[in-house]
Structure 1
Amino acid sequence: MESRRFLFVSADAALITDLAWQIHREGHDVKYYIEAATDKEIGDGFVPKTDDWKADVDWADVVIFDDIWVGSDIGTGTLAQELRAQGKAVVGGTPNTDHLEEDRGYAMEVLEEQGVNTIEHHIFYDFDEGIQHVQENPAPYVIKPLGEVQNVKRLLYVGNEADGSDVTSVLRAYKKAWGHRMKGFQLQRKVEGVEVAVCGFFDGNQFVDTVNFNFEHKKLFPGNIGPSTGEMGTSMFWAGRNRLFEQTLGKLEEWLADEGYVGSIDLNCIVNEHSIYPLEFTPRFGYPTITLQEESFESSTGQFFYDLAHGNAPELSVHKGYQVGVRIVLPPFPFNDEQTYDESSRNAAIVFETEHREGIHIEDAKNVDGQWRVAGESGMPLVVTGKGKTMQKAREQCYDRIDDIVIPNLYYRDDIGERWIDGDGDQLLAWGYLGPQSA
């Protein structure tokens, strides 16, 4: 395709660096804006930057927002909507789609209105009322914070006790430690099954027919234990509009068209032999989901997002097997400790034992005179990916590539993709969700 001009906007933290780098490497003109002062160096040496994205809107053929947040408030959906009203082609949300992530109660209302089955859930703005509800209705619950504080991923808590006693204890602790910041929380009944996310790309009118199914690994340590993180790794594959899609995101197609939404939207679910239970929306790119999706694109990434933003019936050719992505992290991730970061991670060199860079993707990294270095404040420099005809082959390629990376103090999960091999895949196929479309 001819060269196009892409403007990437991180209105808060830097998240979309790798996609900007990929499109830049395809020969397109790219400018990248980062709002957060601590993140401004991220992508230096990889991607051309701008200090004033609004001044470059007229320059751009496509504007791409990477998240819903503008600082500590939602707001990129409003910005995207305003730009579309001016005739600009934008990958981004709307005020209502931003609200899907920020307010979990509203998200459940939208799902129910569109005929999607939901789990029993309750919204509370008072800790004592939530505790009383659990005591009067004993069961395992999941605590999901509302608002900006939900970005502190370790606050999500999945209860284990049948009487809910662990949940009430956690709520009392949150009241003391987080009561000043947590605007509210959702209590969701815990459901057993396979956790799977359905992800589609929407062009303002309809979904692209190629649908992504991914499996998140949010806990810090192998075996799914330890504190919750944003994400430690993802496994995935692509398919068509099967039963799992049609009973979830497919039911929102008209609603999203009315909104004029453009971009990636993900609905994480628990699935068992009885039903599908949506958990939460990601009405934006997921991280590192988009990195792994990008690795599996076999058609032009720039062409796809240009066509998506312009509503040009985008075509997408993808790898037909399985894909695995692993996040490489450094101390003190997932916590914030400036002294530890300064001593262990800041500006650390990223060294490769081979010349190839296949499957190596940047997050919080910069390139200084040809030397890759850790950038920013978060300790998430790289995502490494692999793909294969089987999930096991994808895992092997991914971890072989990780073995070639040297960063002092790096750590990562070594079990990404194992859940599929150990039974998740067989169960989803046996329950009929991943075969040909059915009612």
Structure 2
Amino acid sequence: MKVLVVGNGGREHALAWKLLQSNKVEQVVCVPGNGGTATLERCQNLPLAVDDFEGISQFALKKGISLVVVGPEVPLSNGITDYLQNQGLMVFGPVKAGAQIEASKAWAKALMQEAGVPTATAAVFRESAAAKSYLQAQGAPIVIKADGLAAGKGVTVAETIEQAESAIDTIFQGQFGSAGNFVVIEECLLGQEVSVLALTDGLTIRPLLPAQDYKRIGEGDTGENTGGMGAYTPTPIATPELMARVQTEVLEKTITALRNRGIDYRGVLYAGLMVAPNGDFKVLEFNCRFGDPETQVILPLLETPLEDLILACIDQRLREMPPLAWKEGAAATVVAASGGYPGDYEKGKIITGIQKAEAAGAIVFHAGTKLNSAQQIITEGGRVLNITGTGENFQEAIAQVYTGIKHIQFPGVYYRRDIGHRVLKIET
């Protein structure tokens, strides 16, 4: 079969890499792809935009593409699945109505409340004065969110009223475009975040390994929010008992609520949880796609063929699938970013050391990279590479990552040196 993967990040490189491990997958085409997918065997890039639905459809039909896997949230929220399905193509990813679960935090919050899913108390505002009045009554710390898609950067955990008011002003002044038409103000929950990515055919839902990511740019979880600076799996805080509760109290309730709204949701449902010190949890948000960088640590441990799971979701056969098979051990990834990220950064820097990192045992997933005319890999984005390691335990996996990342060089390269510090403390 031929598969087309929509997107150009580390998540999409990981998806293409995993799909190509199957002897059932003849070729993967990435739209538009990156420097890593350009050099992956049996993989090619197609220079189309992720929102060029017509161009993607025409290529897929002409070239006999069997399956389209959509990576990013933006084309999903804009209806790529609906469009391609109407052209007779098989697509993995929820329809536009279902993608609202990520595209609108207010919509998702209402769905959670309707379904009885445990979540933080919140209020939604469409103008600044009312939001600030509510803020004064609630006090700080408090969480301010842009309602729509903001590339993982529309959330501020404000320690003071002044920070919260500044975040409200930033959102309503248009920094996040239409994502800032509404502001969601939410209680600040304490604990550790856990990412639970689950596959669903709209009737049955099965979680993948729970992961923990690092959103802040600075070590010690300081500084601005990013799209994610690293991750590891399986996170010990997500015990079997907690995951059993997540299955019944979050995943199954949410799929039922979507179905009750007439939404046939097939794809990935990603629940971002806050787990309190006492082991209780609440849902912070939902995403409608594979996480990034969580995908880069989950897929290297998955032994069940990914295309089998995807096709079972599309055909509503997930209930018939045997339990998911996983490699024993752990995986971790660290993001090598451009200097200045998540703010302004320069592009076009030549990257060296990728082959040396891979020779040291790491898997290098490309994110913001490009293959130039001289066949050199250069920087093209803020999050440039994901250096991933696996091992029998976290100590081995994390050591493999940091051994590999030492070989990666380009002007301004930055990465956190404390990814996985929590689990290392647990193991020792």
Give the TM-score normalised by the residue count of structure 2: 0.83
Of the three residues 242, 245, 248, the one matched with 1:246 is 248
Of the three residues 393, 396, 411, the one matched with 2:396 is 393
Counterpart position of 1:327: 335
| CA spacing shift, 1:309–1:358, aligned 2, 3 Å | farther
Contact 1:18 1:363 in 2 (8 A): no
Counterpart position of 1:156: 155
Q: List alignment gaps of at least 5 residues for structure 2.
A: 49-54
1:221-255 deviation digits (Å, cap 9, x = unpaired): 11001111110011121886522333222322334
Counterpart position of 1:49: 45
Task: Quote how far apart the aligned CAs of 1:278 are.
Answer: 0.9
Query: SS of the counterpart of 1:415?
Result: coil
Task: Quote how far apart the aligned CAs of 1:364 are.
Answer: 2.5
- Match runs of 1:125-136 below 5 Å: 125-136=126-137
CA-atom RMSD, angstroms? 3.1
Contact 2:209 2:234 in 1 (8 A): yes
AA at the equivalent of 2:2: R
In the alignment, is residue 219 of structure 1 matched against residue 216 of structure 2?
A: yes
| CA spacing shift, 1:53–1:180, aligned 2, 3 Å | closer
Query: SS of the counterpart of 1:252?
Result: helix
Question: 1: CA distance between counterparts of 2:142 and 2:68?
Answer: 40
AA at the equivalent of 2:108: A
Task: Quote how far apart the aligned CAs of 1:412 are.
Answer: 0.8
Contact 2:271 2:287 in 1 (8 A): yes
Question: 1: CA distance between counterparts of 2:122 and 2:293?
Answer: 28
Counterpart position of 1:431: none
Counterpart position of 1:200: 198
1:333-371 deviation digits (Å, cap 9, x = unpaired): 22234xxx14xx534445443662642212223456996
Contact 2:16 2:37 in 1 (8 A): no
Q: Which stretch of the first structure deviates more once superposed, 105-114 or 18-27? A: 18-27
In the alignment, is residue 299 of structure 1 matched against residue 304 of structure 2?
A: yes
Contact 1:235 1:324 in 2 (8 A): yes
Task: Quote how far apart the aligned CAs of 1:325 are.
Answer: 1.2
Runs of 4+ in structure 1 off by over 6 angstroms are 39-42
Q: List alignment gaps of at least 5 residues for structure 1.
A: 427-439
Counterpart position of 1:317: 325
- Match runs of 1:337-356 below 5 Å: 337=345, 341-342=346-347, 345-353=348-356, 356=359
Aligned length: 402
Query: SS of the counterpart of 1:9?
Result: strand
AA at the equivalent of 1:197: S
Counterpart position of 1:435: none
Contact 1:62 1:309 in 2 (8 A): no
| CA spacing shift, 1:152–1:386, aligned 2, 3 Å | closer
Task: Quote how far apart the aligned CAs of 1:216 are.
Answer: 1.6
Counterpart position of 1:19: 15
Task: Quote how far apart the aligned CAs of 1:259 are.
Answer: 2.8
Contact 2:357 2:364 in 1 (8 A): no
Task: Quote how far apart the aligned CAs of 1:108 are.
Answer: 1.2
AA at the equivalent of 2:331: Q
Contact 1:141 1:159 in 2 (8 A): yes
Give the TM-score normalised by the residue count of structure 1: 0.81
Task: Quote how far apart the aligned CAs of 1:138 are.
Answer: 2.2
Query: SS of the counterpart of 1:231?
Result: coil
